[in-house]
Chains A and B, each alone.
Chain A
Amino acid sequence: MNSSVIVFPGSNCDRDIAVALEKLQFKNKMVWHKETKLPKSDLIVIPGGFSYGDYLRSGAIAGKSLIVNEVIKAANNGCLVLGICNGFQILTETGLLKGVLLRNKNLKFINKDVNIKVINNDTKFSNKYKKDQVLKINIAHNEGNYFTNFNHLKELNNENLIAFKYCNKNGDTNKEANPNGSLENIAGIFNTKKNILGMMPHPERMVDNLISNTDGINLFSSLLK
């Protein structure tokens, strides 16, 4: 499977995601933001970091960059797109995913391992997970507080477009288990066609037991199926 990782100035999880993809035998290419053409890709990943310094607003400038036009075209043609952390923020800026990521409720950067629950496992991104499976994944962000309007939230729920929710060890998606104030504990969402996934937690950080755990591996191996 061919993957492309988009590298913006200020991306800083680009190497991490490339390592994870290569570990899972993806044929991966790094794509510089000034490129105007994407290599042949079955999967495009927009990695975490601080694209263009995240000045103005997280993801705002990246959302208008040259390469992102190509990502939008590819996504509309059904290419799989995964946005992690800053990548999720960028996807909302482009409109490929609806909603916004506000500042964390405590107004601080948060880095820790949190539990998330697999809400929809019937997608290209999540089919190797069990439904309601609880994962332990690292988060690292300033703006991960997902918010959207009432109608879209209804759509997310009715169409089963919520990918992951923050929860506790037992899978309860209560307020205490919500690290950043995100609406309904949402940690990741799909677009209507479910070919685009945006998520704040970093699955690429969870592919090696020596460093953390391997809860992120199934996200990548799901894609290989």
Chain B
Amino acid sequence: MKITNQIVEKHGLKLEEYSIIKKLLKREPNLLELGIFSAMWNEHCSYKSSRKHLKNLHTIGKQVIQGPGENAGVIDIGDDDAIIFKIESHNHPSYIEPYQGAATGVGGILRDVFTMGARPIALLNSIHFGSPSHFKTKTLLNGVVSGIGGYGNCIGIPTVAGETKFNSTYNENILVNAMAVGHAKKNKIFYSKAKGLNKSVVYVGSKTGRDGIHGASMASAEFDENSEEKKPTVQVGDPFTEKLLMEACLELMKDNSIISIQDMGAAGLTSSSVEMASKGELGIELHLDKVPCREENMTPYEMMLSESQERMLIILEDGKEKHAEEIFKKWDLDFVIIGKTTNTNKLTLKYNNKVEGEIPLDALSSKAPVYDRKWIKKKLTKSKIDTKKLNNIKIEDALIKILSSANHSNKSWITNQYDQMVMCDTAQRSGSDAAIIRIHNKQKAIAVSVDSSSNYCNSHPLTGGKQIVCENWRNLISVGAKPLAITNCLNFGNPEDSKIMGEFAECLIGIKEACEFLNYPVVSGNVSFYNGTNKKNISPTPVIGGVGLIQKLNKPINHQFKKDNSIIIVIGKTFGHLEQSVFFEEVYSITDGSPPEVNLTNEKNNGENVLEIIKKDLVNSVHDISNGGLIVALAEMSMGSDYGVKINKPKNLTNLFKYFFGEDQGRYVLEVDKNNLEKVEKILRNNNIFYENIGFTQKDYFEIQKELKIDIKELYKINNQWYNNY
């Protein structure tokens, strides 16, 4: 077949890129080769627009065993234990087919983690939908939630934390980001780099079908009105097979049979074989007639581009083939030697011994295009909000409005659909600042949380990038964990637009600054561009997934009040920053203004002191102050517990709205027993930490002196109705 311009464009390649391909090959590619270039050169696989900026991220630290560049990041949690984790997007497929899109998102990220030798121990997700009133939102919400649950519940990994947000910016392009966390022994970590000549290349797992062909290319383009037609590019998940594949791989990983292993994720057989061989500076030869196929008459083109799920490519040590085969047969999985490593530095594809395609590997990896795209800075919008009209509403009404809104309602309608308890190590389930997972058979535990704040990032990407790392850090601190490292999922619009590219570049600068300052490196991640439909881009939405360590888990700490008459302390200074606040958005529909300032020094000092206080067992409960400000934090601590609060009116700040709803950063609420107060205050004073005693807990009522008094059962009811009525 002659490759026409139209065919090139259909493969998502620019004509300029096609000329580079011809130059690299020194000839015209055939259709199979073109397909492979399109799979490897698309944004999703090549990071061609983001690479330049990603290089600047802070990725090092004593705790890092493996930073970005592998299937997932690896960190050291002491003894011989390592934690392996990563977050990934599945936005485009989930918009087209919510159940399967979300399910395979979970499946894909799990494979990234167990490929490296870890048994997955926790799943998290960050899901963003359009406005609740948009006609598609309800179906998408239902489909995505049951897809995430369907996969995680079946494979038997607890889904322990996440966030769900609604915003019209996602009306035509939802976000589904899934994160997996696994535990491995430090000396048993598996990498994708191939080593040695003439080693067997083995295909294991499910058979290859025609699903998902060009999935990665789809994820590298904007949607238009014909997006529905892309349904066949969405893969179909089978969590049962994944469970078998996981157990089989972990069984084979017990000895030294595996040289390298790579899951077939985006761009399936193509990207896995190319990645392994190019990292090892080898060649690879595949005999496609040997690939187990689900459908008849599949062509080499279809096999190489299929994104059928639950498949792995393994390079085995000599003589281990039989042993490995026995394990995969025990689990009723396909096991076929489909090729070998070579010294040609080429990807060679044969069908019935006839060469169907041959491409130098560097053309697919190191020589793939990298773009230094134009980007422009965003200016901080000068405040222009007239605060005089704030007096028109009562604090009580504003609080109720927020607690009953889609974004701030209790999410148990969602989390009850996820098995959070399987594996019996979940010490803190969803609903608190972070989830806590005990390391099996050990006293230590990890805390995990995922966070984003697209409003802040949209108004000022640099501050937003910084803020979101800090918030994630704060969430781990709040459950008594020392934050160790993060993974990030960078969801942005079209990078060819300099404004969008600017959002990306600036968010990354913010993320880098915060990570560096907090010694909180990025160890893995994923970039998702082209989130938008018909030229309408989503707000920049970097999502941060963090992992922290609790050295000795004696008693999990969470955000709910525990006792009557304990002292409530606010750590960190309240200035009353209302722009970009939930209060403005939910009560007045005002979305202008700049986000709250992030002071990294205060953030770090405040956090470290809170951690010390928790470690010394001086608090009953802790909650970070984030969206909605102090009053929402206090309400969240009350709802679902038996205790409310009695809060004094602030002495210094006269504007109550600013005081209660302001979203100043770096703040925490602590519930402290009277007999521990002196010790806590001493620590804070000695370290020059700003704090205020603002009141105490009381039975049954949520009360602000002379302003409001509500039964906490009533608050709970208000907070729990939105999902059930939707």
Contacts and interface: CB of A to CB of B under 8 A. Distances in A.
Interface of A: 9-10, 12-13, 15-16, 19-20, 48-50, 52-55, 108-112, 138, 140, 142, 202, 204-205, 207-208, 210-212
Contacts of B690: none
Interface string B418-458: 11111111110000000000100000000000000000000
B133 interface: no
A138 B146 CA distance: 19
B240 interface: yes
Report which residue of A12, A52, A110, A212 has the largest number of chain B beta carbons within 10 angstroms of its beta carbon: A12
9 contacts: A9-B244, A10-B154, A16-B423, A50-B243, A54-B240, A109-B146, A109-B418, A207-B424, A210-B553
Report which residue of B153, B155, B412, B419 has the largest number of chain A beta carbons within 10 angstroms of its beta carbon: B419
Given A10-B154, A109-B146, A211-B425, A55 B240 contact: yes
Contact of A16 (B146, B424, B555): B424
Interface string B477-515: 000000000000000000000000000000000000000
B243 A10 contact: yes
A50 B418 CA distance: 14
A52 B240 contact: yes
Contacts of A138: 421
B132 interface: no
A53 B239 CA distance: 8
Given A10-B243, A109-B149, A211-B427, A140 B154 contact: no
Report which residue of B412, B417, B418 has the largest number of chain A beta carbons within 10 angstroms of its beta carbon: B417
Given A50-B154, A108-B146, A205 B421 contact: yes
Contacts of A53: 154, 238-241
Contacts of A204: 424
A55 B154 CA distance: 11
Given A140-B153, A210-B556, A16 B238 contact: no
Contacts of A110: 416-417
A112 B420 CA distance: 8
Given A204-B424, A211-B424, 18 more contacts: A9-B240, A10-B243, A12-B156, A12-B422, A13-B422, A15-B423, A16-B422, A16-B423, A50-B153, A50-B154, A50-B240, A53-B241, A111-B419, A111-B421, A112-B416, A202-B421, A210-B553, A210-B555
Contact of A111 (B155, B420, B423): B420
Contact of B421 (A109, A210, A212): A212
B177 to A, nearest CB: 21
B143 to A, nearest CB: 12
B427 A210 contact: yes
A13 B422 CA distance: 7
Contacts of B243: 9-10, 12, 50
A60 B423 CA distance: 24
B331 interface: yes
B332 interface: yes
B438 A211 contact: yes
Contact of B155 (A12, A140, A208, A212): A12
Contacts of B155: 12
Nearest to B428: A211
Interface residues of B, number: 33
A211 B243 CA distance: 24
B153 A109 contact: yes
B433 to A, nearest CB: 19
Contacts of B331: 9
A217 to B, nearest CB: 13
B240 A140 contact: no
A138 B423 CA distance: 13
A44 to B, nearest CB: 21
A53 B243 CA distance: 9
Given A15-B423, A53-B238, A108 B417 contact: yes
Contacts of A54: 154, 240
The 5 closest A-B pairs by CB, nearest first: A12-B156, A53-B240, A50-B154, A140-B419, A16-B424
Nearest to B416: A112
A143 to B, nearest CB: 12
A49 B156 contact: yes
Contacts of B423: 15-16
B424 A208 contact: yes
Contacts of A108: 146, 416-417
Nearest to A16: B424
Contacts of A210: 427, 438, 553, 555-556
A209 to B, nearest CB: 9
Contacts of A112: 412, 416
A208 B417 CA distance: 23
Contacts of A205: 421, 424
Contacts of A48: 422
Nearest to B553: A210
Contacts of B427: 210-211
Report which residue of A16, A50, A52, A109 has the largest number of chain B beta carbons within 10 angstroms of its beta carbon: A109
A63 B426 CA distance: 31
A132 B555 CA distance: 30
Nearest to A13: B422
Contacts of A49: 156
A108 B419 CA distance: 12
Contact of A109 (B239, B332, B419, B556): B419
A49 B420 CA distance: 14
Contacts of B416: 108, 110-112
A33 to B, nearest CB: 10
Contacts of A52: 240
Contacts of B150: 109
A142 to B, nearest CB: 8
B417 A13 contact: no
A168 to B, nearest CB: 15
A211 B438 CA distance: 9
A52 B244 CA distance: 10
A3 to B, nearest CB: 17
Contacts of B244: 9-10
A50 B155 CA distance: 8
Given A9-B332, A12-B243, A49-B156, A140 B238 contact: no
A139 B217 CA distance: 41
B250 to A, nearest CB: 12
A52 B415 CA distance: 25
Interface string B314-343: 000000000000000001100000000000
A16 B422 CA distance: 8
Interface string B115-159: 000000000000000000000000000000010011001111000
Nearest to B159: A111
Interface string B332-361: 100000000000000000000000000000
B156 A13 contact: yes
A19 B238 contact: no
Contacts of B555: 210
A208 B427 CA distance: 10
Nearest to B154: A50
Report which residue of A20, A53, A202 has the largest number of chain B beta carbons within 10 angstroms of its beta carbon: A53
B327 to A, nearest CB: 13
Contacts of A50: 153-154, 156, 239-240, 243
A133 B185 CA distance: 43
A20 to B, nearest CB: 8
B251 to A, nearest CB: 12
A108 B99 CA distance: 13
A55 B331 CA distance: 17
Report which residue of B154, B155, B420 has the largest number of chain A beta carbons within 10 angstroms of its beta carbon: B154
Contacts of A202: 421
Given A53-B154, A108-B146, A211-B438, A140 B422 contact: yes
Contacts of A207: 424
A111 B417 contact: yes
Contacts of A208: 424
Nearest to B333: A9
A202 B421 CA distance: 10
A110 B399 CA distance: 30
